[in-house]
Structure 1
Amino acid sequence: MSVTTRRNRLAVAALAAITALGGLTACGNDEGSGQADGKPAKLVVDTFGEMGYDELVKQYEKDTGIKIELRKTAQLSDYRPKLVRYLATGKGAGDVVALEEGILNEFKANPANWVDLAPLVADHSKEYLPWKWELGKAQDGRLLGLPTDVGSLAVCYRKDLFEAAKLPTERDQVSALWPDWNAFLETGRKYKAGSGGKAMIDSITAVSNAVLFQQNGDLFYDKENNIIADKSPAVQAAWETATSMSDISAKAATWSPAWSGGFKQGTFAATFCPSWMLGIVAENSGEANKGKWDVAAVPGGGGNWGGSWLSVPAQSQHQKEAAKLAEFLTNANSQVEAFKATGPLPTNLEALKNEAFLSYTNEYFSGAPTGKIFGESVAKIQPVHLGPKHQAVKENALEPALRSFENGQSDKAKAWEQFQKDAAIQGRF
């Protein structure tokens, strides 16, 4: 065993011990402890972004008589610290919480914080993408999360802005513009020339995410969870591709006010869209831009950016009922309805074959057959290895370094040096 590996495993053990102490304190959601019939008066669900659950929880309330409080946090970077605090203090977490792939392994490091769902729900092990189901398990085999979605990649683009720049606008023609990333860059330069100097894409960090999640295998960590960020071929490919596109970028960092406002203002004409991003694009763009957006293929083939699981914290006072709610939200019908609502791509095999999913067209995105577009890519998705602090390295090391270069604060070599330094710090656990 290497010294680094041993140190990392000791760190995981220390984290487990600390959070286990938190798990011994008072339970989390203590409002509405129950009704006369033994059912809880209320269950709390913690999510981030848009998971398409608004109408589903209303249906669950109607079917069960249990009130569901859906607590949404817009950004994962804000969501994770809240969850860390809830687990450390042993109180405050929802009865059901979403765990995104970038933070999943970090929280799985202490399985004592989570309920084993297997005894509380039916056996669904054959109903989901096999690799997705397996990732929801702890090392000891306990089932800690039920699969929700994956984030199959595409490009969302503004047809009206492409037309004004004298580029094709039909989705098949647009997809043909960029079979690879070099062709995408050339298209961006043509757009810039045809639009009077406007940027085609929102930011180079969006490019890095798309490229990063097209790679199979290891990203920031090797299989033994040693940090390899600056030596990873996947990271190097993402870095080189992203930095090559700074001249076609609006420099609007994802989730920033400039990014959110840029959809309505036409600051950029394209962004990389995992399926769950469709609802966010529509919300940011507003009703006035309905029908102006469409969906095309991503350069270089498919890829998977994002995806989550639903888990039940051990601190929940209503573990059995919470497990049933998680089971409902992840079943085949619910995954189809969530997709139609905001775009999260199903991982339930029955849902992926559902005609309502396969034939679904998204009116906001010019009637794009998003069920077909994203559904056909699911079988091609390969799992990538995300280490325990993947999200921290990506958000606090890689993306700041790329933004430093994009904004002209650092040259490419200095920005890479910054990334190497910050990745070593952020990747420790």
Structure 2
Amino acid sequence: MTRRWKVVAAALALAASLQGAAAQEAPNTEVSGAVSLWTWPHNDRTLSSLLPEFNKAYPNVKVRIQGFPSGNNAYLNKLLSALLAGTGPDIAMVEINNVAQLSDKQQFADLSKPPFNAGALKAEFAPFAWSKIEDPATGRIFALPKHTGPGGVFYRRDLFAAAGLPVDPQALAATLKDWDAFIEAGKKIAKPNERWMVGTGNELVRAYIAQHGVSYFDKDGALQVGGPVFRQAFELVAKARDAGLISPFAMWTPEWQGAFARGQIATIVVGNWFGGLLKSAYAPGDAGKWGVVPAPAAENGVSAFNWGGDFLGVLETSKNKDAAWALVKWIAMNDTSLKLQYEKGDLYPAYMQAGTAPWINFQDPYYDGQNANEIFAKVQAEMVPQTTNPLDSIASQAVETAVNAVVTSGKPIDAALAQAEAEIKAKM
């Protein structure tokens, strides 16, 4: 470990030691009743697997967890319909891209008020995550952060070694110091119709705009897609395309997923949670071949970015708010809960004290003995909040379509950005 990382680790340890004792308070075993929780697939299985441990702490609380498909906003639409009808679960999970659509819904209980008093927990959570759930003007808190998505670059050690590039994470991080360096390294790795540096152009756009703290809309609701940061991001994509670095596969397709195990994609620029997919689904047989480094820095010197995150809110219609709140706090803050969630899917806790736990700081054999948390803990501490807007999902789809047009058909950047703007404005 370099002196720089030792300083970071020491700072994290100090921060954890200063966290309030209330975070691991003894459970109130007198709390009882039945509560329901809505979420989406995979999370439903993960959370269901936690219930035996939860019931050791809260033996008198019965929990029902339901997962609903998330594709095409199915889960979001179901939840919105339930809120409108005054029905729904006791607890609802909220994905980070839907925060703006749900945070002002009065059907979510204000967790700053009794019996929750969540404001006392603010210092326990990553500032990036907390910024999403508290209204700075009113102090209203609509949910509790569960996980974040600190981003980095997952890379195939063997492909970098074969190209004569560094394999050691610290040496490679110095080599991939900025996006121009990333492209130059990619030229040594990519082979036409056989191997690519990165899977999709949209990865580069999402990381780049996040590094600048820019989102699809500004705080006043003005569309930013035609602005300079988006144009610079698209220019980065065009450079990578011209160098033959971007695969022809669309993200989440079977072809894209299989390319990781086939060794056709050398890196992916994405949130920490992707490690869980590599280990369990996309490349489970490739332990030791992967590593993690920070993302290349943008022109402003910022490397950190976020991709992902979720939250837990209690609905006003809940008949058992005490039990619902006990479950929310246990899932989001309990060491056993967070450890199991990390082990099952590399889910990165928003609860800062967990960042110093042994179960997240270890020599991971999948990464050839690297402690990946040395990367992600620093990223979480440095992530810049982006403005959220109810139309983010529409804007995100339009931008991704425009990026794909630049990559696959060579569409001019100005035309692609204009197309995205027009598509978004048509739905505003």
Q: TM-score range by the shorter chain?
A: 0.7 to 0.9
Distance 1:287 1:345, change over 3 A: closer
What is the Cα deviation at residue 237 of structure 1?
2.8
The equivalent position to 1:278 in structure 2, one of 256, 271, 275, is: 275
Q: CA distance change for structure 1 residues 71 and 159 in 2, over 3 Å: closer, same or farther?
A: same
Gaps of 5+ in 1: 1-36
Q: How does 1:21-420 map to 2 (within 5 A)?
A: 39-41=32-34, 43-47=36-40, 53=47, 55-65=49-59, 66-69=62-65, 71=67, 73=69, 77-91=73-87, 93-110=88-105, 112-118=106-112, 119-121=114-116, 123-138=120-135, 140-193=138-191, 197-216=194-213, 218-231=214-227, 233-246=228-241, 247-300=244-297, 301-331=303-333, 333=335, 334-357=337-360, 359-394=361-396, 396-408=397-409, 410-420=411-421
Deviations 1:23-53 (A, max 9, x none): xxxxxxxxxxxxxx99444532414665964
Give how far 1:318 is off: 3.5
Q: Is the 8 A contact 2:226 2:418 kept in 1?
A: no
- Partners of 2:128 and 2:383 within 8 A in 1: no
Instruction: Map Cα deviations across residues 377-409 of structure 1 (whole Å, 9 max, x no partner).
Output: 232222122223223211x21001111222217
The one-letter amino acid paired with 1:160 is D
C-alpha separation between the residues in 1 aligned to 2:128 and 2:376?
A: 18
**CA apart distance, 1:313:** 2.7
Query: Cα distance, 1:355 vs. partner?
Result: 4.5
Seen in structure 2, the aligned counterparts of structure 1 residues 86 and 166 have a Cα distance that, compared at 3 Å, is farther
* Structure 1 position 85, deviation (Å): 3.4
Q: For the Cα contact (< 8 Å) 1:120–1:324, is it kept in 2?
A: no
Does the CA contact (< 8 Å) of 1:274 and 1:306 recur in 2? yes
Aligned identity (percent) is 22
Structure 1 residues 137 and 170: alpha-carbon distance in aligned structure 2, compared to 1, 3 A threshold: same
Distance 2:42 2:367 in 1: 19
Contact kept? 1:202, 1:250, Cα under 8 Å: yes
CA apart distance, 1:72: 6.3
1:292 is aligned with what amino acid?
K
1:5 aligned partner: none
Residues 208 and 238 in structure 1, CA contact (< 8 A), matched pair in contact too: yes
CA distance in 2, matches of 1:373, 1:205: 22
Aligned to 2:205, the other structure's residue is in SS state helix
Letter in 2 for 1:255: W
Deviation at 1:60, TM superposition (A): 1.1
Displacement of 1:141 = 2.3
Whole-angstrom CA distance in 2 between matches of 1:295 and 1:376 = 13
How far does the alpha carbon of each residue in 1:332-352 deviate from its partner, in whole angstroms, 9 at most, with x for none?
523354334322323323223
Normalising by structure 2, report the TM-score. 0.80
Answer yes or no: is the 8 Å Cα contact 1:229–1:235 preserved in 2: yes
- Checking the alignment, whether the CA contact within 8 Å between 1:225 and 1:388 is kept in structure 2 is no
The structure-2 alpha-carbon separation of the partners of 1:242 and 1:40, relative to structure 1 and needing over 3 Å to count, comes to: farther
